[in-house]
Amino acid sequence: MKKSYILGLIIIAVAVAVIISSAGDASKYVSFREAFAMAQAGDDSKVHVVGQLQRNQAGEIIGIEYDPVKDPNYLAFMMVDNNQEVHKVVCYNPPPSMQDFKRSEQIVVVGRVKEGQFIASQILMKCPSKYEDKQIKG
């Protein structure tokens, strides 16, 4: 065989290996109830949970534990999933902007349940759009 054919086969094999390894890392969207049930069943795979920060009757966010002076790599907060189930989420990689975090409309946490609590490895935020249509009064 020619060297170019061998090189082409190697490149194709590497591409297939990358695709297979990334497909195995894909996680699914679940509720807190499903995430905790998976953990009890021994499933340690990462999942996505969609929800919002817990708010009081006045609409103020409650339950955030973050002190950058004490530990800038620790963030804990109470999150309400789409089934209205509330759980504490702990993240050791807090978002860069706490202001954007608090203003977010919706949050997706990626992680797994460990020792009875949800440990997030990633926090994805849906922030209010600054490009909303606004009527011009004239």
CA distance 112 to 2: 48
Task: Report the CATH number that the domain containing residue 60 is assigned in CATH.
Answer: 2.40.50.140
Could you list the residue range(s) of the whole structural domain that residue 32 is in? 28-126
* Res. 116 pLDDT band, cuts 50 70 90: confident
Domain count, the chain: 1
Query: Tokens for 70?
Result: 């004490």
How many angstroms separate the CA atoms of 88 and 79, rounded? 6
- Give this prediction's pTM: 0.71
Answer whether residue 94 is part of any domain. Answer: yes
CB contact at 8 A, 27 and 46 = yes
- Please report whether residue 104 resides in a domain: yes
Nearby residues of 44 by Cβ (< 8 Å), 6 or more positions away = 112
Could you tell me if residue 14 is inside a domain? no
pLDDT at 26 over 70: no
pLDDT in tens, 34-88: 999 998 898 888 999 999 999 988 888 888 999 888 988 999 999 999 999 999 9
Residue 36 domain-assigned?
Answer: yes
Q: Is residue 90 part of a domain?
A: yes
Asked whether residue 18 is assigned to any structural domain, the reply reads no
The verdict on residue 134 lying in a domain is no
SS3 helix, strand, coil % of the chain, rounded to 5? 25, 35, 40
Is 5 within the bounds of a domain?
A: no
